[in-house]
């Protein structure tokens, strides 16, 4: 909220607007839900019913009360309303940070009642769990349930009363499947009107972004939760220096590089000196202009923004200032005001250090669009036991490829980019240096793609090892199948277990020791040519023969490749090791 008089109020404590993030799977209706909230606010008919901020929409308490009808009595609330982050999804949520944690005070998880939990839903739940952010579930698209009779803009329980028994039954089935999905992810949940303690249970609110049904319930629950459980955290010093987080670094015509930021504490003034987190040292700069969108009535004017003298938390604002090229989305922003500059620089440096990704001596290179995203993907890679050698915010550049190309292991010659672009010269360099590039907008998909790549590499390596290694085999000379007794002996054999390979050394077992009898020179469809032995001397018809295994090969087969060889070969290996270990228990270990 722009408030030119805020700075004249002195150091006063006030309750700020809770910040609401909206998350969920693609196409489940996140944007539609935000549009419906905004549309309902405009429909409420108040002049200035909503305030459009940079990257956020403020819906004041009076407007929420008008939308919610009898569900919200303004006299019961101290908080000024709700501030919705306009960019829905993981990107905005993971970008918005305050003092090392999630900046959003509360979240709405949007789930399509027809689709239930999908991969991005699970990813959102993981983020909410990790950041310990309270949330409610908007079970969207109730109007698409077969037999549903829409009752636009009404509270959902009222709408439910007007549905056929069949439609209500179908919806309840889907809602309780959704509640089961939440339970599978360690969250106790129920319909919001049955929840007694929202700290212990997640409230599910059936809604339709299309018809407006349940929107009043959603706003009521958000206000009630904020008032009951977040009131203490909403206390800010409105006269204090502004504290916020960069939502986006953007070029703006006439202003150059600007910051879109969310202010969550204090007041930002048009004459403030700021310290901003950057790719290198914190940036110290002076505000040139604070910009906010013009009112909806003036949206057709040539100038999209209007200058304001000050902005008070919580709010979104565009900041024009010099030297912002190295600023990072997700980085902290602090106004200096009357404090020592060095102290504020250290505060910003410490915040950046809190979210610095721990790196290893060898591993993959990771790039992400924001600090929050970088932290999220690093956590996912750590869970998957994938080491990271370098992690930075920004597009994939040639220097990232250069680092990846020096990896000790082929599987680490890779760059993983989350929600970023690959510069053309970096793509060319990757192709020349055989560095694999993985870019995706969904963290779990990015990690899965890389793990599939590693699996392919490891399978190829194992196949190469298997090709070079001696394989175990037990076979016998068939009676009446001696075609030549010597020079070379030509006999028919039956493979009992394992894999018989050309040039294998052949042994028999005598007194627990292998005794070499010759070498297999060639294989034929109907028989084997065995060089050196003489039938009737070293071997006899019916003899059980074995391929000789070097100790090192036996060890590799048992310890590294046991999952890669067929069951009969594993059987032959086990029998060979048993024979060897009757004399030497540690042979091949």
Which secondary-structure segment (H or E) carries 65?
helix 61-68
Tell me, yes or no, whether 359 lies in a domain: no
| Residue 188 contacts residue 127 (beta carbons within 8 Å) | no
Domain closes at, from 200, 220, 235: 235
Identify which has the larger pLDDT, 248 or 166. 166
Q: Which residue range is the domain that position 294 belongs to?
A: 238-354
Q: Which of 301, 312, 294 is nearest to 242 (CA)?
A: 312
**CA atoms within 13 A of residue 508's CA, in its CB half-sphere:** 14
Residue 79, domain member (yes or no): yes
- Across residues 534-544, what is the average pLDDT? 72
* CATH, residue 309: 2.40.30.10
Residue 184 maps to which CATH number? Answer: 3.40.50.300
Same domain, 47 and 87: yes
Instruction: Describe the crossing of helices 119-131 and 371-383 by its angle, rounded to 10 degrees.
Output: 100
Do 52 and 164 belong together in one domain?
yes
Q: What are the φ/ψ torsions at residue 542 (nearest 5 degrees)?
A: 90, -10
- Kindly state the percentage of the chain with pLDDT values over 70: 88
CB 519 within 8 A of CB 500: no
Task: Name residue, tokens 């052949």.
Answer: 506
Q: What is the pLDDT of residue 395?
A: 92
The CATH number assigned to the domain holding 414 equals 3.40.50.10050
> CA-CA distances (angstroms) from residue 249 to 42, 114, 329, 585?
29, 37, 6, 66
Between CA 438 and CA 381 the distance in angstroms is 13
Mark whether 244 and 226 lie in a shared domain: no
Q: Indicate whether 135 and 49 sit together in one domain.
A: yes
For the record, the structure tokens of 383 come out as 């869970």
Residue whose structure tokens are 């055989």: 434
Same-domain status, 307 and 394: no
How does DSSP assign 218-269, residue by residue?
A: HHHHHHHHIIIIITGGGEEETTSBPEEEEEEEEEETTTEEEEEEEEEESEEE
Is the pLDDT reported for residue 411 higher than 90? Answer: yes
The pLDDT of residue 263 is 92
Q: Are residues 197 and 300 in the same domain?
A: no
Q: 0.85 cut: is pTM over it?
A: no
Cα separation of 106 and 108, whole Å?
7
Q: Are both 180 and 300 inside the same structural domain?
A: no
The predicted-structure confidence for 558-581, as pLDDT tens digits, reads as follows 888 888 888 888 999 999 999 888
d(CA 399, CA 407): 13
193 within 8 A of 206, measured Cβ to Cβ: no
- Give residue-wise pLDDT tens across range 24-82: 887 888 888 888 887 755 555 443 445 566 678 888 888 888 888 778 888 888 999 99
Band of pLDDT at residue 359, cut at 50, 70 and 90: confident
What is the DSSP code string of 179-205? HHHHHHTT--EEEGGG-S-TTTSEEEE
68-90: b (≥16 Cβ within 10 Å) or e: beebbeeeebebbbbbbbbbbbb
**Greatest distance between any 2 Cα atoms in the chain:** 112
Residues 448 and 546 in one domain: no
Q: Which residues pair with 110 in a beta bridge?
A: 24, 138
395 in Cβ contact with 421 (< 8 Å) = yes
Does residue 437 form part of some domain?
yes
Residues 317 and 188 in one domain: no
Query: Does the pLDDT of residue 120 top 90, yes or no?
Result: no
589 in a domain, yes or no?
no
- Distance CA(579)–CA(564), nearest Å, equals 23
Judge contact between 271 and 287, C-beta under 8 A.
yes
Whether 117 and 265 share a structural domain: no
Q: Total structural domains in the chain?
A: 4
Residue 1 lies in a domain: no
Single out the residue in 322, 354, 386 at which a domain terminates: 354
Q: Do 147 and 29 lie in a common domain? A: yes
Q: Which residue has the higher pLDDT, 467 or 3?
A: 467
Asked whether residue 88 is domain-assigned, the answer is yes
Residues 489 and 477: beta-carbon distance below 8 Å: no
Residue 38: name the closest of 207, 206, 219 by CA: 219
Q: Domain for residue 9, yes or no?
A: no
72 shares its domain with 217: yes
Res. 177: pLDDT tops 50: yes
Residue 516 lies in a domain: yes
Torsion angle of alpha carbons 490, 491, 492, 496, nearest 10°?
A: -120
Q: Is 203 exposed, middle or buried (0-12, 13-18, 19+ CB in 10 A)?
A: buried
């Amino acid at each position: 909220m722009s408030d030119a008089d805020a700075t004249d109020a002195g150091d006063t404590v006030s309750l700020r607007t809770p910040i609401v993030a909206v998350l969920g799977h693609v196409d489940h209706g996140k944007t539609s839900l935000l549009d419906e909230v905004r549309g309902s606010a405009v429909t409420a008919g108040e002049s200035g019913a909503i305030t459009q901020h940079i990257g956020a929409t403020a819906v004041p308490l009076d407007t929420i009360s008008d939308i919610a009808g009898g569900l919200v009595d303004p006299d019961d609330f101290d908080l000024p309303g709700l501030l919705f982050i306009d960019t829905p999804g993981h990107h905005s949520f993971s970008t918005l940070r305050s003092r090392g944690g999630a900046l959003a005070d509360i979240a709405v998880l949007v789930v399509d009642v027809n689709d239930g939990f999908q991969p991005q839903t699970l990813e959102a739940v993981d983020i909410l769990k990790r950041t310990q952010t309270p949330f409610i579930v908007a079970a969207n698209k109730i109007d698409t349930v077969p037999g549903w009779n829409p009752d636009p803009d009404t509270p959902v329980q009222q709408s439910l009363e007007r549905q056929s028994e069949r439609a209500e039954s179908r919806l309840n089935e889907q809602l309780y499947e959704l509640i089961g999905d939440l339970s599978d992810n360690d969250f106790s949940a129920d319909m919001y009107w049955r929840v007694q303690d929202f700290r212990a249970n997640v409230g599910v609110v059936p809604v339709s972004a299309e018809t407006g049904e349940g929107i009043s319930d959603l706003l009521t629950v958000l206000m009630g939760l904020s008032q009951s459980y977040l009131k203490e955290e909403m206390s800010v010093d409105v006269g204090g220096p502004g504290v916020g987080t960069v939502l986006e670094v953007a070029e703006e015509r006439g202003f150059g590089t600007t910051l879109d930021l969310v202010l969550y504490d204090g007041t930002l003034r048009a004459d403030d000196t700021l310290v901003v987190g950057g790719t290198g040292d914190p940036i110290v700069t002076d505000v040139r202009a604070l910009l906010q969108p013009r009112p909806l009535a003036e949206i057709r004017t040539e100038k999209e923004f209007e200058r304001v003298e000050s902005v008070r938390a919580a709010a979104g604002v565009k900041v024009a200032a010099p030297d912002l090229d190295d600023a990072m989305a997700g980085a902290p922003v602090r106004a200096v005001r009357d404090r020592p500059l060095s102290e504020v620089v250290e505060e910003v440096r410490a915040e950046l250090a809190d979210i610095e990704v721990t790196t290893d001596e060898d591993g993959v290179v990771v790039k992400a669009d924001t600090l929050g995203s970088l932290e999220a993907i690093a956590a996912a890679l750590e869970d998957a036991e994938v080491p990271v050698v370098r992690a930075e915010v920004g597009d994939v550049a040639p220097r990232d490829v250069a680092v990846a190309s020096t990896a000790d292991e082929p599987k680490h010659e890779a760059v993983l980019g989350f929600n970023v672009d690959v510069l053309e010269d970096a793509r060319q360099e990757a192709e020349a240096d055989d560095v694999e590039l993985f870019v995706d907008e969904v963290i779990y998909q990015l990690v899965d793609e890389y793990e599939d790549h590693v699996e392919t590499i490891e399978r190829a390596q194992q196949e190469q090892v298997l090709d070079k290694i001696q394989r175990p085999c037990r076979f016998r000379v068939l009676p009446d199948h001696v075609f030549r007794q010597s020079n070379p002996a030509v006999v028919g054999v039956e493979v009992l277990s394992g894999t018989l390979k050309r040039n294998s050394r052949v042994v028999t077992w005598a007194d627990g020791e292998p005794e070499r009898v010759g070498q297999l020179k060639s294989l034929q469809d109907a028989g084997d040519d065995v060089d050196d032995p003489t039938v009737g001397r070293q071997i006899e018809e019916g003899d059980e023969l074995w391929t000789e295994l070097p100790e090192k090969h036996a060890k590799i087969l048992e310890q590294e490749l046991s999952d890669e060889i067929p069951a009969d070969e594993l059987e032959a290996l086990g029998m060979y090791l048993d024979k060897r270990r009757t004399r030497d228990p540690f042979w091949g270990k």
